[in-house]
């Protein structure tokens, strides 16, 4: 494999560029080039990273444990009346149909209120094996369970199995805490008795607290709203000012869920945890604030490893993301500070990182110091993106592009592309179309002399000047959209270090 570009290889690569340009039709030159002093660019990059890190900082996730011993009762579930909103969204999602297959009377739920209770205490209070009974190394729950805003369910060193065929679900408005415990959907020997898919799930409403420490969640969720695994949400019956759901997940394992963690209107810390054999997404963030750090995601059957949407502010750092059906990380119609740093992304069936429709004001997106390899699409693929910094990444082994940014119409904003190592790419290494300002420098390209363009799109007409300045001379160059700019002259970068 050829080494990364050094001056000794520059002549052959520049010859390749000139040959490719000679074979194409003349292009309209609307780009003006100028040298940015290296110190200025370095200071700006440091400031950008500092601002972004500050913007994605998050206060410690606050969890509250209701004091005193909780009261436990069985209460009827109505689909539409005062107080029924926590389970109303699931009326048409198969919950009540599954309940009807197990309960012979009007649907009932276990309700925990007025304090906290352990699983053993809950079984003692209910004293009904049809609802909750001993099973394996813990207990089997066969009724829906609702934790009210002043209630809490505490699992410590035990297992709670949720029966698949009885409409079991955990609906949390207060505190759900698992520590060294297991929460698992359980089928037994019975096959499905309904024509509609259903598996037990956990939903925590805005204002609630959920804590998962050193625990395992397994075989939960099906592909329906708020029912895909562990979900949070803001009900239409809750005031918009309701505090976000608090979620703390640490040192835990999620396996065989529809989506591992699906967060809306939440404040979450997810760290040092593993996600494998997910169906839709491992982690799905929407209108939330989150830090997702040092997790392992392996195997997502239908979509991406991590998805970010809406008014979401997040730090996604140090994660290993392998073997996803779509992208490793997908960001779509998102506004707010987002820092993707130190992640390792590989074997994506789509793009390594996919960005779509990020044109909101006030947001900042930085992709820094990631390793992206063996994506079947492009390593970083963006469209309709207004501002983006791609800094100090290592990208290799993609059959499409290392970096592709395409806007249908030119957008004001800046693409900063510095310090990256880009190689073993099937098409052109970098494609840029439709952004007003591009800053390049200190990138290393591994190309195929005489066979491959390194820079195409808006940069193709000026790529020979750009490569001479940024590779041979080692300077930082700003490329601005300037209609009628004319043929760019060679750049002298001798003083650019000042």
Find, among 273, 274, 270, the residue nearest to 262 by Cα: 270
Q: Which two tokens stand for residue 26?
A: 């003349």
Q: Residue 214: is its pLDDT beyond 60? A: yes
Residue 90 pLDDT: 87
Residue 7 pLDDT: 37
Find, among 243, 117, 90, the residue nearest to 171 by Cα: 90
- Give the pLDDT band of residue 66 (cuts 50, 70, 90): very high
Distance between CA atoms of 45 and 12, rounded to whole angstroms? 32
Whether the Cβ atoms of residue 417 and residue 455 lie closer than 8 Å to each other:
no
In this structure, what are the phi and psi dihedrals at residue 278, rounded to the nearest 5 degrees? -85, 155
- Give the pLDDT band of residue 495 (cuts 50, 70, 90): low
Residue 252 pLDDT: 98
Three-state secondary structure string covering the chain: CCCCCCHHHHHHHHHHHHHHHHCCCCCCCCEEEEEECHHHHHHHHHHHHHHHHHHCCCCCCCCCCCCCECEEEEEECCCCCCCCCCCHHHCCCCHHHHHHCCCCCCCEEEEEECEEEEHHHHHHHHCCCCCEEEECCEEEECCCEEECCCEEEEEECCEEEEEHHHCCCEEECCEEEEECCEEEEECCCCCCCCCCCCCCCEEEECCCEEEEECCEEECCCCCCCCCCEEEEECCCCCCCCCCCEEEEEECCEEECCCEEEEEECEEEEEECCEEEEECCEEEEEECCEEEEECCEEEEECCCCCEEEEEECEEEEECCEEEEECCCCEEEEEEECCEEEECCEEECCCCCCEEEEEECCCCCCEEEECCEEECCCCCCEEEEEECCEEEECCEEEEECCCCEEEEEEEEEEEEEEEECCEEEEECCCCEEEEEEEEEEEECCEEECCCCCCCCEEECCHHHHHHHHHHHHHCCCEEEEEECCCCCCCCCCCCCCCCC
| Other CB atoms within 10 A of residue 43 CB | 11
pLDDT tens digit sequence for 236-254: 999 999 999 999 999 999 9
Residue 496 pLDDT: 53
Find, among 319, 302, 196, the residue nearest to 258 by Cα: 302
- Give the pLDDT band of residue 23 (cuts 50, 70, 90): very low
pLDDT tens digit sequence for 8-20: 344 444 444 444 4
Whether the Cβ atoms of residue 143 and residue 160 lie closer than 8 Å to each other:
no
Instruction: Delimit the domains of the chain by residue range.
Output: 1-56+315-482, 60-271
Region class of 440: left (phi > 0), else alpha (psi between -120 and 50), else beta? beta
Q: Which two tokens stand for residue 229?
A: 């695994």
Q: Averaged over 138-142, what is the pLDDT?
A: 98
pLDDT tens digit sequence for 359-375: 877 679 999 999 999 99
Residue 28 pLDDT: 47
Distance between CA atoms of 392 and 371, rounded to whole angstroms? 9
Residue 97 pLDDT: 87
pLDDT tens digit sequence for 416-434: 999 999 999 999 999 999 9
pLDDT tens digit sequence for 25-64: 344 468 899 999 989 999 999 999 999 999 999 999 988 8
Find, among 225, 235, 325, 215, the residue nearest to 281 by Cα: 325
Distance between CA atoms of 325 and 247, rounded to whole angstroms? 27
Residue 4 pLDDT: 42
Q: Which two tokens stand for residue 137?
A: 């190394």
Give the residue with greater pLDDT, 126 vs 18: 126
Percent of the chain whose pLDDT exceeds 70: 90
Q: Averaged over 441-447, what is the pLDDT?
A: 92
Residue 494 pLDDT: 67
Residue 195 pLDDT: 56
Mean pLDDT, rounded, of the chain: 90
Distance between CA atoms of 359 and 164, rounded to whole angstroms? 43
| Other CB atoms within 10 A of residue 345 CB | 29
Percent of the chain whose pLDDT exceeds 90: 79
Q: Residue 330: is its pLDDT beyond 90? A: yes
Lowest mean pLDDT among 99-103, 253-257, 364-368, 476-480: 99-103
Q: Which fold would CATH assign to domain 60-271? A: Pectate Lyase C-like (2.160.20)
Q: Residue 389: is its pLDDT beyond 70? A: yes
Lowest mean pLDDT among 19-33, 287-301, 313-327: 19-33
Separation of first and last alpha carbons in the chain: 36
Residue 493 pLDDT: 80
């Amino acid at each position: 494999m050829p080494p990364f570009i050094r001056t000794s290889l520059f002549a052959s690569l520049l010859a390749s560029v000139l040959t490719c340009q000679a074979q194409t039709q003349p292009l309209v030159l609307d780009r003006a080039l100028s040298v940015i002093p290296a110190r200025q660019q370095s200071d700006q990059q440091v400031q950008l990273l500092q601002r972004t890190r500050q913007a994605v900082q998050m206060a410690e996730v606050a969890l509250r444990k209701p004091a005193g011993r909780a009261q436990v009762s069985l209460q009827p579930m109505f689909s539409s009346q005062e107080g029924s909103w926590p389970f109303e969204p699931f009326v048409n999602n198969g919950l009540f149909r599954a309940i009807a297959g197990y309960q012979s009377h009007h649907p009932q739920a276990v309700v925990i209120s007025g304090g906290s209770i352990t699983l053993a205490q809950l079984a003692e209070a209910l004293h009904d094996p049809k609802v909750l009974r001993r099973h394996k190394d813990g207990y089997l729950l066969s009724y829906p369970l609702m934790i009210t805003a002043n209630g809490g369910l505490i699992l410590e060193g035990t297992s709670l199995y949720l029966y698949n065929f009885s409409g079991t679900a955990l609906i949390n408005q207060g505190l759900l805490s698992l520590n060294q415990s297991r929460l698992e959907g359980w089928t037994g020997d019975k096959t499905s008795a309904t024509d509609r898919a259903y598996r037990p799930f956990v939903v925590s409403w805005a204002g609630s607290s959920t804590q998962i420490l050193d625990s395992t969640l397994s075989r939960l969720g099906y592909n329906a709203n708020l029912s895909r695994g562990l979900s949070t949400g803001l009900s239409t019956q809750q005031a918009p000012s309701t505090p976000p759901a608090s979620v703390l997940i640490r040192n835990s394992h999620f396996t065989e869920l529809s989506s591992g963690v699906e967060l809306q209107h939440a404040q979450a810390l997810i760290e040092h945890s593993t996600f494998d054999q997910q169906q839709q997404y491992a982690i799905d963030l929407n209108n939330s604030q989150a830090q997702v750090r040092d997790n392992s995601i392996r195997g997502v059957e239908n979509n991406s490893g991590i998805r970010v949407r809406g008014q979401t502010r997040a730090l996604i750092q140090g994660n290993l993301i392998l073997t996803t059906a779509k992208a490793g990380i997908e960001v779509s119609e998102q506004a707010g500070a987002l820092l993707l740093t130190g992640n390792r992304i590989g074997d994506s069936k789509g793009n390594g990182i996919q960005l779509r429709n990020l044109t909101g004001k006030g947001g900042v997106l930085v992709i820094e110091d990631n390793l992206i390899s063996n994506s079947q699409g492009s390593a970083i693929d963006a469209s309709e993106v207004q501002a983006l910094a791609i800094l100090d990444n290592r990208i290799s082994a993609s059959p499409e592009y290392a970096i592709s940014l395409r806007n249908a119409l030119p957008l004001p904003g800046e693409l900063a592309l510095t310090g990256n190592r880009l190689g073993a790419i099937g098409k052109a290494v970098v494609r840029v179309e439709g952004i007003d300002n591009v800053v390049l420098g200190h990138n290393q390209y591994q190309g195929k002399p005489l066979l491959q363009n390194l820079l195409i799109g808006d940069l193709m007409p000026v790529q020979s000047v750009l490569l001479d300045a940024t590779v041979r001379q080692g300077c930082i160059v700003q490329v601005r959209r300037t209609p009628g700019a004319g043929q760019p002259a060679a750049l002298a970068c001798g003083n650019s270090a000042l």
